[in-house]
């Protein structure tokens, strides 16, 4: 459980997700009584009347074997650390501000279009292998900015209206904000 109404999970296909119980249903289930009225509500499209909301979905290409909510440093923010069957260790970090979300979304879009993968597979299609990717920015893709030649870095920085140094600092800050 991430919090009282949110839980994280994974499946044998390599997907990670976070789902949240709707506020109204959560409040009704906490009321005194048996909560039987939730069970007997009218179904919706031959399914349950109350469904969880999908907040985050991401394809990892490794079968998740464990998920832990933790912080890596004392006083740091809570993150989700996950491990995979093939030895993968990954983290899911919540963003602190909307400005960071917008910046990293734009950076991810620019990197995916300016730096095509070696196998020729579209990055968005790859990360949305089973279900469309939702609520996640690929940190591995953003980290490839450091490996680009200078001319591509300048081109991407021009598209984002920032300097190369500023983009590199922002990526490094995101990494160090969690672990150091």
Q: Taking the domains of the chain in order of start, what are their residue ranges?
A: 1-94, 95-180
Residue 64 backbone phi and psi in degrees, to 5: -65, 130
DSSP string, 22-69: -HHHHHHHHSSS--HHHHTSPPBTTB-SS-PEEEEEEE-SS-EEEEEE
* CATH code 1.10.1370.30 for 95-180: no
Residue 173's contacts (CB-CB under 8 Å, 6 or more residues apart) are: none
pLDDT band per the 50, 70, 90 thresholds, residue 124: confident
Residue 7 near residue 40 (C-beta atoms within 8 A)? no
The secondary structure element, H or E, covering residue 19 is strand 15-20
**What does the pLDDT average to over 109-126?**
81
**What is the length of the chain?**
180
The residue among 128 and 7 whose pLDDT is bigger is 7
Query: How many Cα atoms are found within 13 Å in the side-chain-facing hemisphere of 100?
Result: 16
Please report, rounded to a whole number, the percentage of residues in the chain having pLDDT higher than 90. 48
pLDDT of the residue at 45: 64
pLDDT of the residue at 38: 58
**What does the pLDDT average to over 110-131?**
81
Residue 164 near residue 158 (C-beta atoms within 8 A)? no
**What does the pLDDT average to over 151-172?**
94
Q: For 110-146, give one letter per residue: b (16+ CB within 10 A) or e.
A: bbbeebeeeeeeebeebbebeeebeebbbbebbeebe
The residue among 71 and 102 whose pLDDT is bigger is 102
Query: How many Cα atoms are found within 13 Å in the side-chain-facing hemisphere of 116?
Result: 5
Residues 24-69: pLDDT tens digits? Answer: 777 777 666 655 555 666 666 666 656 788 999 999 989 999 999 9
């Amino acid at each position: 459980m991430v919090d009282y109404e949110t839980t994280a999970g994974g499946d044998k296909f390599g997907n990670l997700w976070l789902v949240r119980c709707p506020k109204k249903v959560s409040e009704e289930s906490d009321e005194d009584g048996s909560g039987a009225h939730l069970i007997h509500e009218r179904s919706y499209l031959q399914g349950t009347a109350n469904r969880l909301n999908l907040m985050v979905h991401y394809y990892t290409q490794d079968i998740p074997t464990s998920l832990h909510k933790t912080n890596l440093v004392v006083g740091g923010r809570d993150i989700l650390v996950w491990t995979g069957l093939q030895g993968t260790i990954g983290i899911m970090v919540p963003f602190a501000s909307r400005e960071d979300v917008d910046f990293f979304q734009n950076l991810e879009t620019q990197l995916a279009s300016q730096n095509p993968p070696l196998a020729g597979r579209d990055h968005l299609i790859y990360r949305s292998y089973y279900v469309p990717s939702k609520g996640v920015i690929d940190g591995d893709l953003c980290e490839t900015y450091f490996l680009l030649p200078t001319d591509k870095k300048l081109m991407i920085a021009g598209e984002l209206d920032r300097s190369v140094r500023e983009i590199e600092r922002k990526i490094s800050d995101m990494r160090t904000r969690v672990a150091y």
